[in-house]
Structure 1
């Protein structure tokens, strides 16, 4: 189709029509066509400065969703400057997107400078017209979010909460997807994960009800992340997979890479090494050329968590240390503290000589800010891991008491596991089994199959005979389900399975749905990956990447 379709002969009309065609192409996921149309619109706009500025804004938005984010950041700053003299709303949209691009790139200085930048200047350097006083935070959410995030970056969470409160209050009386998305993100950075999940769920529902597809993948990204933080891994996976499909439809490869990274984190807990590596590689294939430091940090963190779950502590520490310590390979500033517990645990379990007390002290400063309700208990667990022998017991018990006051079943189960391992190594098997059984229940509830296996191994070592049964993924299935799963994993169709086992196709379908539910898989491919990994472990291997 010719890019100049539906255009008029006059220059102004032609530029306007080209611009509208570019907007349609962008919303339809046709990134390259949209960029070409915008170039044509700018070349024919003449001295129509407002149209040229809007075209530059659209180009920046396209680059931010499917291009190098550093380029997107600069393009959007120029658009904000051009729009500031006559279009405050457009300038704010450009600055909001520029800030997002700086965040994705992990450029802390650029992010803070963008947050502090006014919405453009007029030609004579006077401030542009401001929004009317009393503007509702739901109608203009970026203002409140920008003020709050500035204080988050400056680590003043009390002031950030004050700045973000109008946005959270306005969310109660709006059904605007953008406002609900900003409110959900505000709750997320303030550590109220339950509120974040509610608000982001409402944002998703509102977008669907209004037929607004543009922000869907972005909403799903933050919703999946909130569920991951809360320990609801099955829900996180479902929403990340949905978000990945939405990003593909809309041509938003950068957001798609974020969903791949989230899925790598989910699968790192399940023990499906092939799926973890598949999603990590897919994320990095976009993150590296487009400069998405947040995505690449999450992908490497997922690999390290898989290593830690498999007991490959030294390998996990080797992956994480460059991401968290100062240096050219340091990861995204927004993820440093979240990954510290993994680094400390991996270093201690590997018996490395490296001193991690500096990381524990840094994490203590973070926990004291009150931004993460789970941080206090995790800090106490880290202190137990690094404390003198005589202090460990008390610290572990304190950490467990602190977990009771905060949500987060996965981290609670990790502390139970760590305490149980410590008790077993001190020849206190009865107490160890009590903690390990509780850890097993926690990991089962949140679907962390890999950590279940590790806990069962510790239980067997602690003398729990029940844990000596078949604890592989196949051990969850009945004999008939195992036969069905084996045939499906080998590539057989439902009808072929029915013929082999003398069952009806309907019965096979019923078995398969139960198998998917019990193993936490969503497709025949994932079932094959999980079962092939299970067989590898039974032969004495550690999975595909061992």
Structure 2
């Protein structure tokens, strides 16, 4: 086994608030107070008590842990807690002293004297605290005798004026007993905290897939993570052996649950096991099962009182995340088998076929071909959720005695697990395939699924290799599946920035093309043909094929109507600029994926919806789609999709000039994606937009030029095309101008093939920026762009065109004409809440001679807009040459402005100017 450290972990992960509360309580010895920590077993209650002891080196510590074995002995816990200070009872008043000593001797406390006893205990602690502040702790107060808990709860509510601190812990059902005590409910750790705790426990390392399995099993319970890490073998830690399927039954957490369950009556434990084993847990089934077991459902009441289960009108719920699993794992094999058979007997209705068969399968011993076939039939025909279908087919494979059939069912179980958003489970099921060769078609489908998993969650080179191998294996038997593999292979090539490999994908797809193919198959073929032609710049062939894919996507019905097919049609629509159709298809894919529970396709569908919303000018909607896509991708382990959504969020934040948010998203991407990948390209695009708004056009152009290398098929050509308007704006008057001209030629060929008004407007704006300054061509192109900007699209890009046109007119010494456009731009940016762009428009207005509100600086009242901008750049440390480059001025003009600035402000140096600005 892997040696998890036995020493106390220095940091309690996910318990910062609780540790802070303990410090606040104990840092002032003269003060008093109480804290109660509630949580299910294993959430760190005892660790917090230990932390309290560590925080109180100058206090007298009175500590006890409630013992279930003494639960029937009144005040047994109180006697153990106060044993070190019993000799101080002489300080109590005579009546209290006598009562206290009788109770500690085991004589009990009459009901009418419980208040007196509680006051005696408080008085005893006060007397002890005169010599030294006291810390009094009782762990698991709900497991011991109730009279002790009642007395300590009473005292805890009345020590705030004494140098006495009381720290109690208990389960989540102690509110009636401990009301009025400041309480912290210990929540499950989140995924990040769970992974960090695993790193603490296993510093030698743990593979990411295994870590994901362990965090899923632990459900945020720290003790479960400790138990899993302790029981892990070296092979499991490296991912070479199957990981654990459940929290160890001999671990500390299981022992804690056994204690809690052992306090329940036998009938309550039996019904609790029945509820735990029946996954759907409806009250009607539990009622019939209770009758079949010879008891009544009322026998479950003690378990409800203990907070282990809650029976509602429609469902039986286990409130604590791990309770169901622990009830099952702590039962014996014989108890579980008996319960499964009983549930199968009572689930005799026609709507319970799969549930009944699953219980029979759970009780089966050895291969059972008939039961395996019944499981498969029920899983496919009963339209159950993907998780349940995956479990059913996995068990069917285990009961199958024919290797090829077992492999087929295992691959189907893995496919259902992937559809349900459980990639780690899908990987583990694929690893169970026999090492000996299985049928080529089954092997091809397994390889296809491996490729999809790698594409979304793993390494792109491995995905591409697996998908091409799957396409070859399936070509002769399942042409549609082979084409689907090629579509994914093409996506992998584009994700990695290796578009040149799409030619190979297209050649393979062409060999699979057949006349009069079904709509779903024709959609795949049309998409592959269209993308391949578009990537090589052949829009005359690519455009019609992609538009055909869009039409086919809108006509899909029956089994061909899937989220994946709609997503593919949406991707085609994006490439031909039919943004509204793209949005409809992507939105329909999102809704269908949600309705069917196909979580594996949801992040990609949301990615395409966000892209369509970007082109439609709906930036806020695009950000919302990307945020949802990020959440779903992270929840489903789709790292690569998550990185794409982070990149899109970074771009959208940069366009809003929200530097902090954009950089935060880029940091979240990290160093995982390679330099040629799509997430990397999106991050570079975002950084270039920030460079542009900060007045660094040369840096912005350099980033965007490096995104792709035309003619080689390497790099992110599609991202560079999307970012071309920013590239042209940044490079128009820098050394990168030739590259901008080349990028604009590619952009224009694409725009011409799409006939999209918004893209044509951007193209006209780009041509205006590259036209000779002050000429009629630039003005004509700007006016064309303003005319083409769709009225129904978002106003942001139109406002950007107004700003750029106004700036051009001002620099052409036409300030009066410029102000009209700059006012509209500033007004639109202000309404949209993009203050940085509004400030840029305001600065241009001031430079055009308009008096507008500016920065809240004294110098702003003295300087013109142009002078103020130069002064700010000087304050930032820019040289005259750098200022000239940023503001598209000559160095001589900057010198002239700077002399006037010095004269107006009555200063003599750049240092004085920086001081005046700041």
Common fold: TM-score over 0.5: yes
Corresponding residue number in structure 2 for 1:15? 407
Corresponding residue number in structure 1 for 2:59? none
Q: 1:113 aligns with which of 504, 520, 523?
A: 504
Q: Distance in 2 between matches of 1:27 and 1:375?
A: 36
Q: Distance in 1 between matches of 2:712 and 2:541?
A: 32
Corresponding residue number in structure 2 for 1:304? 688
Q: Distance in 2 between matches of 1:448 and 1:294?
A: 27
1:450-529 equivalent positions in 2, closer than 5 A: 450-468=836-854
1:86 aligns with 2:477: yes
1:427-442 equivalent positions in 2, closer than 5 A: 427-442=813-828
Corresponding residue number in structure 1 for 2:433? 41
Corresponding residue number in structure 1 for 2:878? none
Corresponding residue number in structure 2 for 1:366? 747
Q: Is the Cα contact below 8 Å between 1:138 and 1:179 reproduced in 2? A: yes
1:323 aligns with 2:714: no
1:339 aligns with 2:715: no
Structure 1 length-normalised TM: 0.75
Corresponding residue number in structure 2 for 1:137? 519
Q: Distance in 2 between matches of 1:419 and 1:360?
A: 19
1:73-472 equivalent positions in 2, closer than 5 A: 73-118=464-509, 134-138=516-520, 140-174=522-556, 176=561, 177-288=563-674, 293-324=677-708, 331-348=715-732, 352=734, 354=735, 356-369=737-750, 370-371=752-753, 373=756, 374-391=758-775, 393-407=776-790, 409-444=795-830, 448-468=834-854
Corresponding residue number in structure 1 for 2:296? none
Displacement after TM superposition at 1:333 (Å): 1.6
Displacement after TM superposition at 1:326 (Å): 6.2
Q: 1:174 to 1:23 in 2, by over 3 A?
A: closer
Q: Is the Cα contact below 8 Å between 1:360 and 1:383 reproduced in 2? A: no
Corresponding residue number in structure 2 for 1:54? 445
Q: Distance in 2 between matches of 1:50 and 1:204?
A: 30
Corresponding residue number in structure 2 for 1:536? none
Rg larger for: 2
Displacement after TM superposition at 1:355 (Å): 5.2
Q: Distance in 2 between matches of 1:329 and 1:445?
A: 42
Q: Distance in 2 between matches of 1:356 and 1:87?
A: 50
What is the alpha-carbon root mean square deviation over aligned residues? 3.2
Q: 1:145 to 1:375 in 2, by over 3 A?
A: same
Structure 1 spans left out of the alignment, 5+ residues: 120-126, 472-538, 542-546
Q: Distance in 2 between matches of 1:426 and 1:403?
A: 19
- Greater mean alpha carbon deviation, residues 298-307 or residues 31-40: 31-40
Q: 1:30 to 1:181 in 2, by over 3 A?
A: closer
Q: Is the Cα contact below 8 Å between 1:161 and 1:190 reproduced in 2? A: yes
Structure 2 spans left out of the alignment, 5+ residues: 1-243, 247-390, 858-915
Q: 1:457 to 1:324 in 2, by over 3 A?
A: farther
Q: 1:322 to 1:368 in 2, by over 3 A?
A: closer
Q: What are the Cα deviations for residues 126-162 of structure 1, in whole angstroms up to 9, with x where unaligned?
A: x77x76x533435652122112222212323232232
Structure 2 length-normalised TM: 0.46
- Greater mean alpha carbon deviation, residues 222-231 or residues 310-319: 310-319
Q: Is the Cα contact below 8 Å between 1:345 and 1:382 reproduced in 2? A: yes
Q: Distance in 1 between matches of 2:412 and 2:804?
A: 58
Q: Distance in 1 between matches of 2:712 and 2:488?
A: 26
| Relative contact order, higher structure (CA 8 A, sep 6+) | 1
Q: Is the Cα contact below 8 Å between 2:731 and 2:740 reproduced in 1? A: no
Q: Distance in 1 between matches of 2:746 and 2:600?
A: 38
Displacement after TM superposition at 1:250 (Å): 1.7
Displacement after TM superposition at 1:42 (Å): 4.4
